[in-house]
Structure 1
Amino acid sequence: MELAWIALGVFILLAYTLEAITGFGSIVIALSLGALLLPIELLLPILVPLNICMTGYLSWKYRKLVDRQLLFGMILPGMAVGTVIGYAVLPIIDAQLAKRGLGILILLFAGRELWRLRTAAISSARPLWQNRLITVAAGICHGLFASGGPLLVHALAGNTLDKSRFRATLVCVWFSLNALLTLAFIVDGRIYPTLPQVLFYAPLLVVGVWLGERLHRHFNEQYFRIAIYSLLLITGCLLLIPR
Structure 2
Amino acid sequence: MNAPVIALGGFILLAYTLEAITGFGSVVIALSLGALLMPIETLLPILVPLNIGMTGYLCWRHRRLIDTALLLRTVLPGMLIGMLIGYLLLPHLDPQPLKRGLGVLILWFAGRELWRLRVSAPKRGRTPHWVVRLATGAAGVCHGLFASGGPLLVYALSTRPLDKTRLRATLVCVWFTLNGLLTFAFLLDGRLRPALPQVLAYAPLLLLGVWLGERLHHRFEEHHFRLAIHCLLLVSGVLLLSPWSLL
Classify the TM-score, shorter chain: over 0.9
Partner of 2:141: 140
Deviation at 1:169, TM superposition (A): 0.2
Aligned twin of 1:93: 93
Tell me whether 1:55 sits opposite 2:55 in the alignment: yes
> Counterparts of 1:241 and 1:94 in 2: how far apart (Å)?
18
TM alignment of 1:111-150, pairs within 5 A: 111-118=111-118, 119-150=120-151
Aligned ranges for residues 35-46 of structure 1 at < 5 Å? Answer: 35-46=35-46
Give the TM-score, by structure 2 length: 0.97
State the secondary structure of the residue aligned to 1:233.
helix
> Superposition pairs for residues 78-227 of structure 1, below 5 Å?
78-118=78-118, 119-227=120-228
**Count of residue correspondences:** 243
Could you tell me whether the CA contact under 8 Å between 1:49 and 1:198 is conserved in 2?
yes
3-state SS of the aligned residue for 2:203? helix
Secondary structure at the residue paired with 2:172? Answer: helix
1:120 positional shift? 3.0
Q: Deviation per CA, 1:181-220, whole angstroms, max 9, x where unpaired?
A: 0000000010000000000000000000000000001101
Partner amino acid, structure 1, of 2:164: K
Give the equivalent residue in structure 2 for 1:13: 13
Offset from partner CA, 1:55-93 (integer Å, 9 cap, x none): 000000000000001000100000000011111011111
CA distance in 1, matches of 2:24, 2:233: 10
Cα distance in 2 between the residues matched to 1:120 and 1:59 = 34
* Residue pair 1:122, 1:158 contacting (<8 A) in 2 also: no
Q: Tell me, in whole angstroms, the C-alpha distance in 1 between the residues paired with 2:133 and 2:14.
A: 31
**1:126 Cα deviation after fit:** 2.5
Q: What SS does the aligned partner of 1:168 have?
A: helix
Q: Tell me which amino acid in the other structure corresponds to 1:190.
A: R
Which residue of structure 2 aligns with residue 66 of structure 1?
A: 66
Q: Distance in 2 between matches of 1:90 and 1:235?
A: 21
RMSD: 0.9
Q: Give deviations 1:87-123, integer Å, cap 9, x for gaps.
A: 1011111111111100000000000000001033211
Residue identity matched to 1:151 = L
**Residues 123 and 157, structure 1, Cα contact 8 Å, conserved in 2:** no
Q: How far apart are 1:127 and its partner, in Å?
A: 2.0
Which consecutive residues of structure 2, in runs of 5 or more, have no partner in the other structure?
Answer: none
Q: Give 1:44 shift.
A: 0.2
Higher mean C-alpha deviation, range 213-222 or range 91-100: 91-100
TM-score, normalized by length of structure 1? 0.98
1:221-240 pair list within 5 angstroms: 221-240=222-241
Query: Gaps spanning 5+ residues in structure 1: where?
Result: none
Which consecutive aligned stretches of 4+ in structure 1 deviate over 3 angstroms post-superposition? none
Task: Tell me whether 1:3 sits opposite 2:3 in the alignment.
Answer: yes
Letter of the 1:52 partner, please give it: I
2: distance between equivalents of 1:93 and 1:150?
Answer: 21
- Comparing 151-160 with 53-62, greater Cα deviation is found at 151-160
Distance in 2 (alpha carbons) for counterparts of 1:67 and 1:97: 35
